[in-house]
């Protein structure tokens, strides 16, 4: 098939863009799942859409292609571009502009036949080989636009009249859209709205801005819709490690958004196993709505209580699975910002001052492994640790010793004792 | 449906082309410019032939158009519902957002169905009227290029008075805070929530100071792909400019570019990954890690 810049289906480009943007170390031969031709086409598309951010590197395995973007320096998320590339037919685009020209303001109300007459008489007569739009094509298109909210239909006797929906004023919304198209969930929709405004310079920039979640927007929308409707969903989930796709039916309970790594999760009740399971949104291939779930409110309430003990995504039905975590850090005079850090960054648990120069964090959480990365950020001032799960505590200490070795540091005493 | 031709860059380009043809006599070069501005680098190769060859029957041979009105489109239901959903966000109060026309619209999602589980707890006070006023004043000052003067509590908790020219409002999703990026001062930015009083600066004093220009530094890491480290590290640092290379069966070399002013934050973040990553260069950065490890041994 000949190359086209636009695409019909988003899922393949979603995979490639993620590889180019998040990982970016594979050469052409590393994309084992897809054909070389497919790789060439997708690379060419991304290059055309995002050429300014595309980089290349020669390695012994071949040429690596990657997207390198400092998201702090861009006004708007460049990955939104991918959502503006849906293909269409010659008839689609021609009919689109003609229909909205005929129905140019809400007061123009016409029947299908009147619209058809005007298309042929006023719009296509000058073209040598004029496109032909039959009644069913135009009716279908009007129905599609009515479902999208662009067209209104009303009955007048036995006739159906079509008119365009009223305009919503967006003037003066520049700042609002500049901000929320980046900072709100499903911001790509805000970016569609921004496209309607005259070009302008944004007065906002964004730090710690993870832009790749944009590629999962349709997955997120399907999940949020199911949560609102309190219904189950059927997920196709792909394991990154094994590349195997599994299908599961779950009750979606909550979306967890990570602002420290850009990873978004679905928290859900796995129906068959009666487990609280998490799924990474970027690993979900598809989400299909299932049936309304009767006990939704009860389950959601129980989950909310249990989630108070989740450091990130681990959660279980029974509080008996909670593990106690405790560590103390040294805070010298003038270092009060460390105590502030504990308060600010803790996601659950308590912080207390134990003496003039020591502060202790304590919590009961479902998986003490999850808190280790945070505790490591206090390396250099950890004076005491106490985990009910000794295996995890020992793992922390072993890791610390491994770090000493990796950086060539002689250990003269026991760390963290 | 989010992925729809209604939002496509091609539809947008063609709309602009029709407008240009309605109001003037553009030549092919002008049309090419329009496509380049609103679509992608190769788009002109598709859009212009499709119009010229009358496959898209919207322009005649002489670039006149049977379309009579400037193309415009009402908001789609998806767009309206997104706007309605965003209006639940407490940060909306910072903006003078008008909500007319959305009364009957169902929000696209409920913000309570999402939890930002690792966001810091001391975010800015978006409900505070004084904060809202100061936010709007900063935005207006940026728009008008006007200087401001502020009284604030600095990092050392001391009251300070300063004047500056705001250039941008920077929002951190992790901190849930706004910083004003500024010029005309020794500092490059200041936290909006630290300001206790803000007004336009009307004095005529000279602007003697400029912040040090931000320098971009590099750190090179070696990663061992254990415990899913590759995925965790690449996602964690995804927002930075970076390069990754596979150098062994389960080993990778990653080069990150960061703003020098964020170095301490980066040291802490790298420490968080434990032994699966090691700083290879520069030596000065590796020494910052060693320093903390040595302190831990003490």
Which residue among A24, A97, A374 sits closest to B67, beta carbon to beta carbon?
A97
Above pLDDT 70, what percent of chain A?
97
Q: Do A377 and B271 touch (CB under 8 A)?
A: yes
pTM for the full model? 0.95
- How many CB atoms are located within 10 Å of the residue A233 CB? 26
At residue A412 the predicted structure's pLDDT band, cuts being 50, 70 and 90, is low
Spans of all domains in chain B: 1-73, 77-113, 129-200, 216-297
Provide the residue-wise pLDDT of chain B in tens; the chain has 298 residues: 999 999 999 999 999 999 999 999 999 999 999 999 999 999 999 999 999 999 999 999 999 999 999 999 999 999 999 999 999 999 999 998 776 778 889 999 999 999 999 999 999 999 999 999 999 999 999 999 999 999 998 877 889 999 999 999 999 999 999 999 999 998 899 999 999 999 999 998 888 788 888 899 999 999 999 989 999 999 999 999 999 999 998 999 999 999 999 999 999 999 999 999 999 999 999 999 999 999 999 8
Q: Any chain A CB within 8 A of the CB of B119?
A: yes
A258 to chain B: which residues are within 8 Å by CB?
A: 116-118
Residues with Cβ within 8 Å of residue A37, at least 6 apart in sequence: none
CA A316, CA A302: separation in Å to the nearest integer?
A: 10
Which ranges in B222-281 belong to alpha helices (H)?
Answer: 229-236, 263-271
Query: What CATH architecture does domain B216-297 belong to?
Result: 2-Layer Sandwich (3.30)
DSSP annotation string for A311-367 = SSS---S-GGG-EEEEEEEE--TT-HHHHHHHHHH-SSSEEEEEETTEEEEEEEES-
CA B13, CA A93: separation in Å to the nearest integer?
A: 11
Q: Do A24 and B242 touch (CB under 8 A)?
A: yes
- Please write the tens of the pLDDT for every residue from A15-29: 999 988 888 877 777
Q: Any chain A CB within 8 A of the CB of B136?
A: no
Classify residue A209 by burial, with Cβ atoms within 10 Å: 0-12, 13-18, 19+.
buried
Please report where in the chains the tokens 């569609």 appear, as a residue. Answer: A192
Work out how many CB contacts closer than 8 A connect A with B. 373
ipTM for this prediction = 0.96
Token readout for B169 is 């409002």
Q: Do A407 and B289 touch (CB under 8 A)?
A: yes
Which residue among B50, B67, B238 sits closest to A210, beta carbon to beta carbon?
B238
| Angle of the A90-102 helix axis to the B9-23 helix axis, nearest 10 | 50
H or E element, residue B259: strand B251-259
Percent helix / strand / coil, chain A, rounded to 5: 40, 25, 35
Q: Do B173 and A209 touch (CB under 8 A)?
A: yes
pLDDT at A414 over 60: no
- Please write the tens of the pLDDT for every residue from A325-341: 999 999 999 999 999 99
Fold exhibited by the domain B129-200: SH3 type barrels. (2.30.30)
CA B221, CA B281: separation in Å to the nearest integer?
A: 7
Q: Do B80 and A168 touch (CB under 8 A)?
A: yes
Quick one: which of B84, B112, B111 has its CA closest to B98? Answer: B84
């Amino acid at each position: 098939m000949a190359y086209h810049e636009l695409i019909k289906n988003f899922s393949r480009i979603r995979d490639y863009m993620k590889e180019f943007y998040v990982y970016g170390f594979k050469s052409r031969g590393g994309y084992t799942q897809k054909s070389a031709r497919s790789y060439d086409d997708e690379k060419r598309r991304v290059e055309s859409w995002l050429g300014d951010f595309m980089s290349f590197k020669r390695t012994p395995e071949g040429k690596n292609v990657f997207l390198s973007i400092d998201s702090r320096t861009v006004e708007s998320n460049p990955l939104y571009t991918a959502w503006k590339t849906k293909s269409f037919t010659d008839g689609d685009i021609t009919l689109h502009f003609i229909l909205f020209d005929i129905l140019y303001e809400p007061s123009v109300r016409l029947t299908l036949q009147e619209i058809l007459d005007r298309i042929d008489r006023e719009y296509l007569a000058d073209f040598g080989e004029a496109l032909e739009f039959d009644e069913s094509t135009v009716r279908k298109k009007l129905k599609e636009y009515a479902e999208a909210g662009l067209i209104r239909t009303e009955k007048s006797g036995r006739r159906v009249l079509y008119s365009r929906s009223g305009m919503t004023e967006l003037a003066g919304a520049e700042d609002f859209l500049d901000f929320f198209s980046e900072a709100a969930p499903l911001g790509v929709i805000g970016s569609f709205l921004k496209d309607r405004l005259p070009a302008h310079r944004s007065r906002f920039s964004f730090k710690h801005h993870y832009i790749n979640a944009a590629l999962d927007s349709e997955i997120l929308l399907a999940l949020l819709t199911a949560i609102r409707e309190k219904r189950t969903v059927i997920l196709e989930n792909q394991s990154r490690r094994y590349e195997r796709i599994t299908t599961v039916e779950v009750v979606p309970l909550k979306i967890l958004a990570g602002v420290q790594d850009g990873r978004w999760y679905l928290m859900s009740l796995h129906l068959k196993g009666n487990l609280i399971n998490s799924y990474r949104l970027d690993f979900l291939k598809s989400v299909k709505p299932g049936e309304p779930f009767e006990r939704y409110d009860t389950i959601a309430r129980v989950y909310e209580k249990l989630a108070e003990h989740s450091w990130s995504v681990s959660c279980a039905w029974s509080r008996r699975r909670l593990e106690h975590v405790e560590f103390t850090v040294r805070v010298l005079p003038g270092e009060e910002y460390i105590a502030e850090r504990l308060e600010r960054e803790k996601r659950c648990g308590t912080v207390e001052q134990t003496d003039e120069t020591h502060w202790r964090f304590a919590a009961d959480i479902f998986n003490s492994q999850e808190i280790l990365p945070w505790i490591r950020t206090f390396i250099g001032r950890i004076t005491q640790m106490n985990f009910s799960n000794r295996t995890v505590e020992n793992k922390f200490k072993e890791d610390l010793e491994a770090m000493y070795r990796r950086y060539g540091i002689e250990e003269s005493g026991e760390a963290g004792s | 449906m989010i992925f729809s031709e209604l939002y496509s860059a091609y539809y947008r380009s063609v709309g602009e082309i029709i407008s240009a043809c309605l109001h003037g006599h553009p030549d092919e070069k002008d049309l090419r410019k329009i496509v380049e501005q609103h679509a992608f680098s190769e788009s002109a190769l598709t859009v212009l032939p499709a119009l010229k060859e009358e496959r898209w029957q919207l322009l005649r041979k002489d670039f006149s158009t049977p379309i009579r009105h400037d193309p415009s489109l009402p908001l789609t239901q998806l767009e309206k519902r997104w706007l309605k959903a965003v209006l639940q966000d407490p940060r909306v109060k910072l903006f003078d957002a008008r909500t007319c026309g959305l009364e009957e619209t169902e929000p696209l999602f409920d913000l309570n169905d999402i939890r930002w589980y690792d966001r810091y707890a001391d975010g800015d006070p978006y409900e505070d009227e004084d904060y809202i006023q100061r936010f709007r004043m900063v935005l207006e000052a940026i728009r008008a290029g006007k200087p401001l003067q502020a009284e604030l509590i600095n990092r050392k908790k001391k009251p300070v008075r300063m004047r500056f020219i705001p250039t941008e409002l920077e929002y951190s999703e992790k901190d849930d805070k706004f910083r004003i990026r500024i010029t005309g001062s020794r500092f490059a930015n200041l936290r909006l929530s630290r300001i206790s009083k803000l007004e336009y600066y009307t004095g005529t004093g000279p602007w003697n100071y400029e912040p040090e220009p931000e320098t971009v530094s590099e750190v090179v890491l070696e990663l061992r792909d254990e415990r899913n480290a590759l995925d965790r590290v690449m996602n964690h640092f995804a927002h930075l400019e970076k390069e990754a290379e596979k150098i062994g069966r389960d080993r990778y070399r990653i080069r990150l570019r960061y703003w020098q002013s964020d170095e301490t934050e980066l040291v802490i973040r790298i420490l968080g990954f434990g032994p699966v990553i090691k700083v290879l260069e520069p030596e000065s950065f590796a020494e910052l890690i060693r320093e903390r490890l040595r302190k831990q041994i003490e």
